[in-house]
Amino acid sequence: MFLTISTTGTPERPATDLGFLLHKHPDHAQAFATSYGTAHVVYPEASARRCTAALLLEVDPVALVRRGRGRGRGGAPDAALAQYVNDRPYAASSLFAVALGGVFSSAMKGRCKARPDLVDQPLPLRIEVPVLPAAGGPALVRALFEPLGWTVTAEPVPLDAAFPSWGDSRYVRLVLEGDQRLARALCHLYVLLPVLDDAKHYWVASDEVDKLLRAGEGWLPGHPEQVLITRRYLARRWSLTREARERLELVRLAESDDTGVEEIDNAVPDDTPDEIAAAAADGTAGESAAGRTAAEGTVVPDTADTPHAPLAPGGAGVPGTADTAVALAVQRRAALLDALRTAGASRVLDLGCGQGKLVQELLKDPRFTEVVGVDVSMRALAAAARRLRVEPSSWPTGPAAAAGERRTGRVRLLQGSLAYTDGRLKGYDAAVLCEVIEHLDPPRLPALEHAVFGAARPRTVLVTTPNAEYNVRWESLPAGRVRHADHRFEWSREQFGTWARAVAARHGYEVRTAPIGPDDPEVGPPTQMAVFRRTEQTKGAQAA
């Protein structure tokens, strides 16, 4: 909520020219009303040698929360903004950028009637932002500003001096120094403050793409981080409706448990590039953010649910194989389809369908006459519905709603849970559990086992799960870590085989396991699959 812009001058070119450029007189304190509070401009120093303008935004935290009222509880879909306790009154956030753009709009556009000659002159500028929220840390701050010609100082702000073990906060104290045109410098701040803040505000206007193009003119197209800048900047927009529609119940459950919503609403990764591509009309973001996400460390290898599962660990190919270009997720789907065809299945359940990639593949083959995607996450189902063009209104959740379920052609999407038996799942030829079991706590596996093998009882069941032994081959995966933050366990081939055989024996199935991906002679394949086939009802019928 605070920054200073300083310049130095000479008697011929006094520093106080800054006042002309900013359209704000150095000797007056001036106040401007903005949407979220009052912005003040004062000059702590104003001499020919040195002139500093300070912009202070007094955010009204109560108004901030109450503004969003009327959209469900508390209104604002951004969980942080629904809180009276938030950093907006203190940090140079995207709100601050909005105020900056308002207060200095003429300056940003490079207009100066009084001294038009000044506009195109680079000035020796020093911009200080004491508290800049920086998702990505000092490194990203430098990566964003240095290519623009700034000398960057970015020092992390400690979280709490009383608790040194907590480490640094997400804020940095930023100092930019360099010879820049003022209008351009303001544009840098206007675009990059929200990008670093990376918070999502639903009130961002619908012409945001135009604004970005305008403010980025002359410097954004050639910026090495252009993709990241565009994606983050526009991310604030597309998240708007999704937030409001899908997350609020989970937000409340997270709040009631003092946890962050991202801890429980994590069934679908947050950045879905195809939507960003759709949002960016000119396609600047279209060239896939896949590479970026990996660099930001939000994605670990081999997540079936991730729309952009990396091709291979560490950006390299799968070691020692020719078909390195085939993503593991693609190979997994191919293997599952093969197994389903071999089994002669035509009515198939995808249990834990996530965003519906496998369902989409299945629908390409007409032999699969009915495909049912089941997931416990409403957000995942919403993503699947978009992908499959299934009407994204409401999904039936219980058997009572069976008549109103969403169905388009051969596909059906249901909210369901394998922690419960579910009559709707009976009578299918095959069920696929693709990268699902490892997302359950081990004590809850018996319930899944019963729901699938005891109650639903399809003729064929396909289960895939990571092979933990293979993890040593993922260069980017620290030793002892699992591949995805939500994996509750990862099994070796031995462990998986033991489980699969026991399940088969308990429920009258026979089972074989098969590798997916290159079968490393030492550690096996990256993914392992078990193919269960129901045997005839061998155990003698018996009444109690």
Partner 1 sequence: MTGTAAEPAASSARRVLGVTDLCLVVLVGASGSGKSTFARRHFRPTEVISSDFCRGLVGDDENDQDATRDAFDVLHYIAGKRLAAGRLTVVDATSVQSDSRRQLVRLARAYDVLPVAIVLDVPEEVCAARNAARADRAGMPRRVIQRHTRELHRSLRHLEREGFRRVHVLRGPDEVAAAEIVRERRFNDLRHLTGPFDIIGDVHGCSSELEALLARLGYVDGRHPHGRTAVFLGDLVDRGPDSPGVLRRVMSMVAAGTALCVPGNHENKLGRWLHGRKVQQTHGLTETIEQLDREDEGFRAQVRGFVDGLVSHYVLDGGRLVVCHAGLPEKYHGRTSGRVRSHALYGDTTGETDEFGLPVRYPWAEDYRGRAAVVYGHTPVPNASWQNNTICLDTGAVFGGRLTALRWPERELVDVPAERVWYEPARPLRPEAPGSGDGRPLDLADVAARRAVETRHAGRITVREENAAAALEVMSRFAIDPRLLPYLPPTMAPTATSRRDGFLEHPADAFAQYAADGVARVVCEEKHMGSRAVVLICRDADVARERFGAGAGAGAGAELTGALYTRTGRAFFDDPAVTEEILRRVRTAIGQAGLWEELDTDWLLLDTELMPWSLKASGLLRTQYAAVGAASGAVLPAALAALEAAADRGVDTLELLARQRDRARDAAAFTDAYRRYCWPTEGLDGVRLAPFQILASQGRNRAVLPHDAQLALLDRMVEHDTSSLLQTTRRLYVDTGDEASARAGVDWWLEMTGRGGEGMVVKPVEAMARTGQGRLVQAGIKCRGREYLRIVYGPEYTRPAHLERLRSRSLGHKRSLAIREYALGLEALDRLAEGEPLWRIHEAVFAVLALESEPVDPRL
Coil vs helix vs strand at 96? helix
> Measuring CA to CA, which residue among 271, 108, 265, 129 is closest to residue 200?
271
- 370-375, strands of its sheet edge to edge: 406-408, 411-415, 370-375, 347-351, 430-434, 460-466, 527-534, 509-516
Q: Which residues of 243-282 are buried (b: 16+ CB within 10 A; e: fewer)?
A: beebbbebbbebbeeeeebeeebbbbbebbbebbbebbee
How far is the C-alpha of 35 from the C-alpha of 215, rounded, in Å? 20
Q: Among 184-192, 228-236, 358-366, 395-403, which window interacts with partner 1 (CB under 8 A)?
A: 395-403
Q: Does the footprint of partner 1 cover residue 431 (CB under 8 A)?
A: no
The rounded Cα 516 to chain-centroid distance in angstroms is 28
∠201-206-210 over CA atoms, to 5°? 110
How far is the C-alpha of 220 from the C-alpha of 218, rounded, in Å? 6
Q: Does the footprint of partner 1 cover residue 451 (CB under 8 A)?
A: yes
456 neighbors 349 (Cβ within 8 angstroms): yes
Write down the residue that tokens 């003729």 correspond to. Answer: 459
- If the CB atoms of residues 174 and 312 are measured against partner 1, the closer one turns out to be 174
443 neighbors 454 (Cβ within 8 angstroms): no
Least distance in Å: CB of 373 to partner 1?
Answer: 15
Q: Does the footprint of partner 1 cover residue 393 (CB under 8 A)?
A: no
- If the CB atoms of residues 341 and 506 are measured against partner 1, the closer one turns out to be 506
Q: Which of 12, 117, 162, 297 binds partner 1 (CB under 8 A)?
A: 162
Q: Which of 124, 319, 399, 409 binds partner 1 (CB under 8 A)?
A: 399
Q: Does the footprint of partner 1 cover residue 125 (CB under 8 A)?
A: no
Q: Among 198-206, 303-311, 322-330, 373-381, which window interacts with partner 1 (CB under 8 A)?
A: 373-381
Q: Does the footprint of partner 1 cover residue 418 (CB under 8 A)?
A: yes
User: Positive or negative, the Cα torsion across 381, 386, 390, 395?
Assistant: positive
Q: Which of 20, 171, 202, 532 binds partner 1 (CB under 8 A)?
A: 171
Q: Where are the alpha helices (DSSP H) in 137-204?
A: 137-145, 182-197
Q: Which of 9, 18, 136, 170 binds partner 1 (CB under 8 A)?
A: 170
Least distance in Å: CB of 44 to partner 1?
Answer: 4
Coil vs helix vs strand at 420? coil
Count of residues that bind partner 1 according to CB under 8 A: 110
Q: Does the footprint of partner 1 cover residue 541 (CB under 8 A)?
A: yes
Q: Does the footprint of partner 1 cover residue 398 (CB under 8 A)?
A: yes
Q: Does the footprint of partner 1 cover residue 537 (CB under 8 A)?
A: yes
The rounded Cα 315 to chain-centroid distance in angstroms is 20
How far is the C-alpha of 369 from the C-alpha of 382, rounded, in Å? 22
Site for partner 1 in 39-58 (CB under 8 A): 40, 42-46, 52, 54, 56, 58
Q: Does the footprint of partner 1 cover residue 417 (CB under 8 A)?
A: yes
Give the x/- contact pattern for partner 1 in 318-357, rule: CB under 8 A. Answer: ----------------------------------------
Coil vs helix vs strand at 442? helix
Site for partner 1 in 249-308 (CB under 8 A): 249-250, 252-253, 255-260, 263-264, 267
Give the x/- contact pattern for partner 1 in 231-250, rule: CB under 8 A. Answer: -----------------xxx
Site for partner 1 in 482-521 (CB under 8 A): 506-508
Q: Which of 157, 240, 326, 514 binds partner 1 (CB under 8 A)?
A: 157
How far is the C-alpha of 442 from the C-alpha of 323, rounded, in Å? 34
The torsion of the CA quartet 314, 315, 321, 322, rounded to 10 degrees, works out to: 180
Q: Does the footprint of partner 1 cover residue 193 (CB under 8 A)?
A: no
Give the x/- contact pattern for partner 1 in 7-46, rule: CB under 8 A. Answer: --------------------xxx----------x-xxxxx
Tokens of 102: 């308002």
Tokens of 365: 């083959």
Q: Does the footprint of partner 1 cover residue 443 (CB under 8 A)?
A: yes
Q: Does the footprint of partner 1 cover residue 87 (CB under 8 A)?
A: yes
Q: Which amino acid is at 250?
A: L
Q: Does the footprint of partner 1 cover residue 478 (CB under 8 A)?
A: no
Tokens of 10: 């000479």
